Amino acid sequence: MFPTLDEYLSNNDSVNVDLIILDVKRHLISLAEHFDKYFSKDIPDNIENFDWIRNPFNVEIADRMLTGNKLEELDEISCDRSVKISFMQQQVSKFWLTVAFKFPLLSRKAVKILLSFATTYLCEAGFAALTNLKNKCRSRLAPESDLRVCLSVISPRIDSLCKAKQAHPSH
């Protein structure tokens, strides 16, 4: 799993391997604790339990996952035609945010589940953009402004930016 570390340890006899193993174990335990804090344990692994988030109008599947007031809210959502029209016109995440005032329990649970996927994707997109920026030809130490441009959802209007500037006149 650690070929570089193994090579280093085989070349250097003066290094105490037991201390390194202990340090790696501590780090992995700490990492596992942070993952447990970040990814809630009340979110099950079975993806079928989330069908009510993708389609809140199919109440039969949600009976296994939801109970009490949440199930009542889901029944109300499934009967409301205006909510169904709103659901068809929006992305799933935006839908659950728009119904947060009317159905707070379900919305809070749905957003909590959807948030972990979005943040994971955004982190991976950020790391991918950073690795593209930090290559051998471009090793700048402050990539914040470049990352902001790379990760922005707003596409630049190059034509209007060029029109706003005056070309350098020849002498």
Which pLDDT band holds residue 26 (cuts at 50, 70, 90)? very high
pLDDT tops 70 at residue 140: no
Give every CB contact of residue 73 below 8 A, 6+ residues apart in sequence.
103, 105, 106
How far is the CA of 114 from the CAs of 15, 32, 118, 121, 134, in angstroms? 46, 21, 7, 11, 31
The residue type at 72: E
Q: What is the pLDDT of residue 80?
A: 81
pLDDT tens sequence across 68-110: 787 788 778 888 888 888 888 888 888 888 888 888 888 888 8
Q: What is the DSSP letter of 66?
A: -
- CB neighbour class for 106 (10 Å; exposed up to 12, middle 13-18, buried from 19): buried
Question: 3-state DSSP call for residue 44?
Answer: coil
| Helical H segments across the chain, by residue range | 3-11, 17-38, 51-54, 59-62, 68-79, 81-89, 92-98, 104-133, 144-151, 158-164
- Give which of 86, 110, 87 is closest to 100, Cα–Cα: 110
Q: Which of 20, 110, 97, 9 is nearest to 56 (CA)?
A: 110
Partners of 138 in the β-ladder: 135
Residue 129: Cβ within 10 Å count: 17
- Whole-number pLDDT of residue 126: 80
Residue 141 has a pLDDT of 66
State pTM to two decimals. Answer: 0.45
Q: How far is it, in rounded angstroms, from Cα 88 to Cα 57?
A: 11
